[in-house]
């Protein structure tokens, strides 16, 4: 593990412990609405992001920072952190299993490394470009699934939460009958890691933001999954995200052809 990867994994693990402890006593007054009743933030989200930022600024001075809760500073720096302190806040509020601390690292605007801590499952996923992907030191590999009929996929509904006039529901209804199964976890970081681990064969979603996916995209790619936008390009935050085993990535893109989730 390189020095930067060690910093990322240690910080993600410590931030996960902090968020986990704060969840043990989360009063209603610590839960807030951002834009709609489906878009939540807690005092723990904000405290965790402050902790991550102060830790990384101390250990890596001069890096930029993009955070979900407090925005960006020096986002055009050569090296820039991209952080979601609690990805899956609704799950966190409801004390569900699946929420994550996600720390991504950009190099000249490109996703370079990532660490994702899933505290309630005791899992720490991490990857650095060109060095493979791991969970708790065990190497990860995307599945060999070659047909949608044999696939277990995941998706999400950020577009529904954002009250968009066109949503993922159309594609959900089109794709699900062709599959072996579907899962909806409420955390893009977690879903990307599950594809990396070969537990899910693919994942798609629209209207994600860079802090949602910065870490998970690197982890999935380093595990051998293909990650593109819904047209097969690189506009992952503007044109949908499709992450899948190589054997079904093309088929999943075909099902999303003609999408218009703007």
86 is catalytic: yes
Of 45, 47, 49, 68, which is the active-site residue? 68
The active-site residue out of 87, 128, 191, 229 is 87
User: Which one is catalytic: 7, 52, 66, 86?
Assistant: 86
229 flagged as catalytic:
no
Does the annotation count 89 as an active-site position? yes
Q: Which of 45, 47, 69, 84 is catalytic?
A: 84
Catalytic residue, from 47, 185, 191, 212: name it.
212
The reply to whether 4 belongs to the active site is no
> CA–CA separation, 178 vs 121, rounded Å?
30
Which residue of the set 89, 155, 167, 228 is catalytic?
89
Query: What residues are annotated to the active site?
Result: 68, 84, 86-87, 89, 212
């Amino acid at each position: 593990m390189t020095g930067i990867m060690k910093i990322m994994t240690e910080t993600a693990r410590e931030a996960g412990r902090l968020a986990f402890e704060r969840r043990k006593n989360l009063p209603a007054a610590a839960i807030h609405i951002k834009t709609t009743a489906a878009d939540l933030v807690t005092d723990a989200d904000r405290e965790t992001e402050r902790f991550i930022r102060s830790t990384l600024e101390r250990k890596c001075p001069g890096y930029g920072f993009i955070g979900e809760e407090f925005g960006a500073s020096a986002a055009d720096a050569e090296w820039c952190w991209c952080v979601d302190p609690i990805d899956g806040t609704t799950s966190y509020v409801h004390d569900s299993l699946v929420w994550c601390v996600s720390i991504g690292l950009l190099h000249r605007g490109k996703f370079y490394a990532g660490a994702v801590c899933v505290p309630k499952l005791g899992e720490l996923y991490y990857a650095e470009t060109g060095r493979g992907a791991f969970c708790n030191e065990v190497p990860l590999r995307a599945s060999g699934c070659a047909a949608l009929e044999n696939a277990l996929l995941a998706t999400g509904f950020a577009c529904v939460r954002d009250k968009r006039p066109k949503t993922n529901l159309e594609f959900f209804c089109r794709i699900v009958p062709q599959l072996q199964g579907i899962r909806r976890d409420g955390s893009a970081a977690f879903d990307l890691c599950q594809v990396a681990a070969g537990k899910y064969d693919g994942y798609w979603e629209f209207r994600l933001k860079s802090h949602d996916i910065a870490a998970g995209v690197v982890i999935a790619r380093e595990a051998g999954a293909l990650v593109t936008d819904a047209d097969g390009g690189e506009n992952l935050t503007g044109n949908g995200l499709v992450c899948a085993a190589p054997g079904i990535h093309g088929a999943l893109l075909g099902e999303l052809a003609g999408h218009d989730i703007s």
